[in-house]
Copies of this chain bind each other. A is one copy, B any other.
């Protein structure tokens, strides 16, 4: 029994109305000192804890509906909330309150010949739209990162999680209210009408940036339709290149971890590139297989280990997100660079090597948001990068790249302080 009623409402008018409220809230938020935003985040976290029973009850309705609709067990797991998950959600919001506030930071300062003292000062972007799928924790995570960076959020969650999202949103608003922050800082789109997503994506001047959080279908739709800027990644076709100079024990450890620690995350390795001059290729392949990975290889890899399956052309461009890896034997660094340039998705690529010059060339020339030397690709994560949280990982080229947290949700303005200068 879904309790949200889709009344007849023009989605364009709806998003415009939410946008006006969001803009007014964003103007207020942009002026707030750090302490007030921290206060708001702390109150939001506390309100989630207080609302635990309401959130669990709402989630139970979503779970019943989802089970009746025949959702997969993986989707049900993503949807399910428990007291532990609610506590983790509240902790996540509270954590954002402890992060360094980028707003107001002076990026640089100069006094050019005209004598005007010029600074670039970080300011919030304004209104951020978040479009996401079944995980209800995104409601709290995204709201916290937006409020923490002085932005207003317009949240559009998945229809399966409608009750859970509403309960979490109610708690967040209670927290905002208690802390004296504008309640429109966090708004939830009150309809599951897909046309509302279209209106958000077309909302130039209403929404300053959209962040899609979810599967490839969602991200692809957002990237294809959006007229507003999008911060996202579509694929994580990540490579580990094991160079001839690699330490074999380290190579094995990194390759198995990069693929198998969690196979469903965007930082997982999909393709293993082995230097033909690396002497222990068979051990690497065997280690992956022993860890439970289905290994597919090109002809050269299969000549080393004939038990593995044969790759098809499509394998090199596939993000498995499963316990499957494709293996190519490669002619040294140049072969690896060429393979990654052709098949990579500009997400995360790693080299295992003891030779510094080779590693530095790899780091310099691989054109990805994250390039790693002697470390697992699974580290591609805002928390691991010391950002404390992340709104997502971006593989576009502009604005922010890789894990994006508070700083990526800001822009800057030029502030000039003069003494009466006029231009000649």
Contact = CB atoms under 8 A, between A and B. Distances in A.
Interface of A: 27, 30-31, 110, 112-114, 116, 118, 123, 125-126, 208-209, 229, 247, 250, 253-254, 256-258, 261, 341, 359, 363-365, 367-376, 378-379, 384-386, 396-399, 401-403, 411-423
Given A118-B386, A254-B422, A416 B364 contact: no
A114 B378 CA distance: 12
B401 A371 contact: no
Contacts of A403: 414
Nearest to A383: B112
Contacts of A208: 397-398
Contact of A420 (B254, B386, B402): B254
Contact of A422 (B126, B257, B365, B401): B257
A399 B401 contact: no
Contacts of A418: 372-375
A398 B401 contact: no
A385 B179 CA distance: 40
Given A364-B31, A398-B398, A414-B369, A421 B112 contact: no
A254 B414 CA distance: 19
A250 B415 contact: no
A112 B399 contact: no
A253 B364 contact: no
A420 B116 contact: no
Count of identical protomers in the assembly: 2
A341 B416 CA distance: 19
Contact of A398 (B229, B256, B257, B371): B229
Given A30-B367, A125-B397, 8 more contacts: A116-B375, A209-B398, A229-B396, A254-B420, A369-B414, A371-B416, A372-B417, A401-B413
Interface of chain A, main secondary structure: mixed
A396 to B, nearest CB: 8
A390 to B, nearest CB: 12
A398 B397 contact: no
Contacts of A114: 375, 379, 384
Nearest to A258: B422
A118 B398 CA distance: 20
Contacts of A209: 397-398
Nearest to A371: B415
Contact of A384 (B112, B359, B373): B112
Most buried by B among A126, A209, A384: A384
B27 A341 contact: yes
A54 to B, nearest CB: 34
11 contacts: A27-B367, A110-B386, A114-B375, A116-B379, A118-B385, A118-B386, A229-B229, A253-B422, A367-B413, A375-B416, A398-B411
A209 B396 CA distance: 11
Contacts of A421: 374-376, 379
Most buried by B among A250, A402, A413: A413
B386 A112 contact: yes
A365 B124 CA distance: 12
A379 B112 CA distance: 11
Contacts of A258: 422
A256 to B, nearest CB: 8
Given A364-B31, A420-B250, A414 B385 contact: yes
A370 B118 CA distance: 10
Contact of A31 (B365, B369, B373, B414): B365
